[in-house]
Amino acid sequence: MSAEASATADPAADEAPPILRAARIVKRFGGLTAVNDVSFDIPARSIVSVIGPNGAGKTTFFNMLTGLIRPTSGRITLGGRNITRARPDVITHRGVARTFQNIRLFGAMTAVENVMVGRHARMRAGLAGAVIRPPWVRAEERAARERARELLGYVGLPAGSFERFASQLPYGDQRRVEIARALATEPTLLLLDEPTAGMNPRESAELAGFMRRLRDDLDLTILLIEHDMKVVMDVSERVTVLNYGAKIAEGAPAAVRADPAVIEAYLGKEG
Amino acid sequence: MNARLSTPVAALRTLAGGLPPWWSRVLAAALIVVGAAVPFLFGGNGGFMNATIIAFAYAVMSLGLNIVVGIAGLLDLGYVAFYALGAYSVGWFGSEFFAKAQVHVLVNAVVSTLPGIHLNFLLILVAAALICAAAGVVIGLPTLRLRGDYIAIVTLAFGEIIYVIAVNGQSVSIGGGMTLTAGNLGISAVDSPFFPGVVQFGLLDLKPWYWLIFVILLVAVFVNLRARDSRLGRAWVALREDEVAAVSMGIPLVRTKLLAYAMGAAFGGISGAFLGTYTTQVNASQFQFGFSIFILAMVIIGGLGSIWGAVTGGLVLGYINNWLIPDVLNNLPSSFGFHFQLTQVEFGIFGFLLVITMVLRPQGLIPERRRRLELTAAIPAEDAQLGNEPEGVA
């Protein structure tokens, strides 16, 4: 493990041990190589961004980290444990939570119920427990409900909306519920897929502050896919740039912004 | 039209919401007392009582299918397979059909002298539930990677396979001159349940039969309500709403879906076992595809996903099928000079009812709160926002 770590470690990486390490990840869909040999570390308690033009393979990369799709080759470890081929629910159980680019709430469930689903991995009641409903199951249900309300308050959902169906909530509140639902899984690593999509500059700035607060309050590590460069530069400690599935730059926000390869990827070659 | 029709239900709901929590327990107790007294109100025998017993058994099946289709959102068109397996459980383990075997467990003195396998009905119920749960898992496994219409086709095929096996089972020898099923001839002289010291089951008195299915229905409703309002119930709804998001929130897809299939199937088996012993015969012709649609119609007319809706749908179609059409209205056409009986066109009548429901009340008789939202709430919610705006400005 340590030998492998020193062999692939990026000299520019922080001193903190990585909470997640993706080594030489490749994903091919038929003839298309969506992610090509990307290696990537996330230091614990950091906020790290992945950026890149549309179709650069960012979401594909995210989906591999959360087990929704399996890499063609490569290895992903979470806190030293191999999760490359683990099921998504197992990965969630081990402490990775995510939100989605196009909000994927359970529309016909209330905000509180949505967040309670997030508690699923941290609850034990099965069929027998549900039917017999012994005291520990009642206590577990009550605790899950309380925790859900707490989290919804934490992300700033108005109390009047707790029992409304998710599909009836305004867009911004749906984003909040989705983050609360992800937090309910008790993650150590939170993946946010374009959290500021559809937000105005003020809301985006608020969210950037909120992400820092999340990290500090809950000891979280945050990985972010983002298009809003202001947010990325403002909040990230490290930025990784993907283009055509390959990593073209990595480092501190200011350095990445000045990188000629990045400018070319976004704006095209000069002349 | 919808708004007007749903008003009484909505009013009841508001009323119920305003009552103290103990009220639901009082209501449940009253329901049980009234339910238990039904045979005394309508007499122990007769066509109506017979229809009630069958309707209750249908309600149990409807509850089972509702778990799969209504709550977990997996369209199952082969549910009759579980009715068949439940009925065959009682045919195999509670009659003289396997004449070479001599097994008697907790049965009455007369039955103890008969050849064949004879288990106590409670044991058969457990066996039926387990066999069907296993069959539910078997049908569930190949559909795990499928969605929507494709699940419907696979389950439909499964239902047909079981039907074909039931019909042709009389040619399948399992040794000793015994066959797997009796096909369209039917396994007959199925044992009656035996509960010594509680009630005596006989063909002349329907009261014990009624109480038995009433208790089964109560248990089924209870289990359904408890399962719905639990971690498991939330997981089913979450998978129905968005599978990708659900698994990303830590819900194990395979286990949760298979549990829905198994549990839904178990209720079909329990109901099938009861109907087998009640009608004292198990005939392959009962298990045709049309019956799957019939149960699905109960769930849809009652209100997809709604537990009380499933019960209501089962009772409504049960009464129409076994009492209203054959006993009450059967000769109606002849009084208008037509030469047919209503029982000959009953599937046409069910189809008509289904169409009427879809036009007038697509959310079903007792809609589930979530489904009500899907079908009716989108526009009113927008209206409400528009209506609120001036207030906010002022």
Q: Select from B231, B248, B250 the Cβ nearest to the Cβ of A130.
A: B231
**pLDDT at B122 > cutoff 90:** yes
Name residues of chain A where pLDDT drops below 70.
1-16, 270-271
Residues A226 and A193 in one domain: yes
Residues A91 and A191 in one domain: yes
Choose, out of A63, A65, A91, A109, the residue to mutate when testing the contact with B (most B CBs < 10 Å).
A109
Instruction: Give A270→chain B minimum CA distance, Å.
Output: 42
Residues A87 and A21 in one domain: yes
**pLDDT at B196 > cutoff 50:** yes
How much is the pLDDT for A72? 95
List chain B residues with CB under 8 Å of A141.
230-231
Comparing B18-22, B207-211, B230-234, the range with the smallest average pLDDT is: B18-22
List chain B residues with CB under 8 Å of A137.
230
Instruction: Give B61→chain A minimum CA distance, Å.
Output: 19
Is residue B258 within 8 A of residue B174, CB to CB? The reply is no
Q: Report the predicted TM-score, pTM, of the whole model to 2 decimal places.
A: 0.89
Residues A199 and A249 in one domain: yes
**Cα separation of A78 and B262, whole Å?**
35
pLDDT digits (tens, 9 = 90+) for B126-145: 999 999 999 999 999 988 88
pLDDT digits (tens, 9 = 90+) for B212-253: 999 999 999 999 999 999 999 999 999 999 999 999 999 999
- Mean pLDDT of the region B340-346: 84
Residues A159 and A210 in one domain: no
Residues A12 and A36 in one domain: yes
Nearest 5°: phi and psi at B243? Answer: -65, -45
How much is the pLDDT for A14? 47
Is residue A49 within 8 A of residue A241, CB to CB? The reply is no
Chain center to CA of A220: 11
Other beta carbons within 10 angstroms of residue B362's beta carbon come to 16
Q: How many domains does chain A have?
A: 2
Domain ranges of chain B: 48-288
How much is the pLDDT for B377? 52
Which of A108, A104, A113 lies closest to B363, judged by CA? A108
pLDDT digits (tens, 9 = 90+) for B57-104: 999 999 999 999 999 999 999 999 999 999 999 999 999 899 888 888
Query: Crossing angle of helices B231-241/A135-154, nearest 10°?
Result: 50
CB distance from B17 to chain A under 8 Å? Answer: no
Structure tokens at B1: 């039209």
**pLDDT at B203 > cutoff 80:** no
CB distance from B198 to chain A under 8 Å? Answer: no
List chain A residues with CB under 8 Å of B234.
109, 113, 116-117, 120
How many Cβ pairs closer than 8 A exist between chain A and B?
112
Neighbour-count burial of A124, counting CB atoms closer than 10 A to its CB (0-12 exposed, 13-18 middle, 19+ buried): exposed
Exposure string of B115-144, with b = 16+ CB inside 10 Å and e = fewer, is ebbbbbbeebbbbbbebbbebbeebbeebe
Comparing A218-232, B10-24, B67-81, B176-190, the range with the smallest average pLDDT is: B10-24
Residues A68 and A194 in one domain: yes
8 Å CB contact of B230 and A125: yes
Nearest CA in chain B to A144: B231
Comparing B176-180, B240-244, B281-285, B315-319, the range with the smallest average pLDDT is: B176-180
Torsion of CA A129, A131, A137, A139, to 10 degrees: 180
Structure tokens at B270: 């329990």
Q: Select from A121, A140, A168 the Cβ nearest to the Cβ of B250.
A: A121
Residues A168 and A146 in one domain: yes
Residues A195 and A73 in one domain: yes
Instruction: Give A106→chain B minimum CA distance, Å.
Output: 5
More confident call, B391 vs A141: A141
Q: Work out the pLDDT band at B347, boundaries 50, 70, 90.
A: confident
CA distances from B303 to A20, B325, B358 (A): 47, 23, 11
Range of the structural domain that residue A151 is part of: 103-185
Residues A86 and A214 in one domain: yes
- Mean pLDDT of the region B152-163: 94
List chain B residues with CB under 8 Å of A98.
248
List chain B residues with CB under 8 Å of A125.
230-232
8 Å CB contact of A100 and B245: yes
Residues A270 and A233 in one domain: yes
8 Å CB contact of A106 and B238: yes
Residue percentage of chain B with pLDDT more than 70: 89
Residue percentage of chain B with pLDDT more than 90: 55
**pLDDT at B390 > cutoff 60:** no
CB distance from B237 to chain A under 8 Å? Answer: yes
Exposure string of A241-254, with b = 16+ CB inside 10 Å and e = fewer, is bbbebebbbbbebe
pLDDT digits (tens, 9 = 90+) for A211-230: 999 999 999 999 999 888 88
8 Å CB contact of A88 and B247: yes
CATH code: domain of residue A119: 3.40.50.300
Residues A191 and A79 in one domain: yes
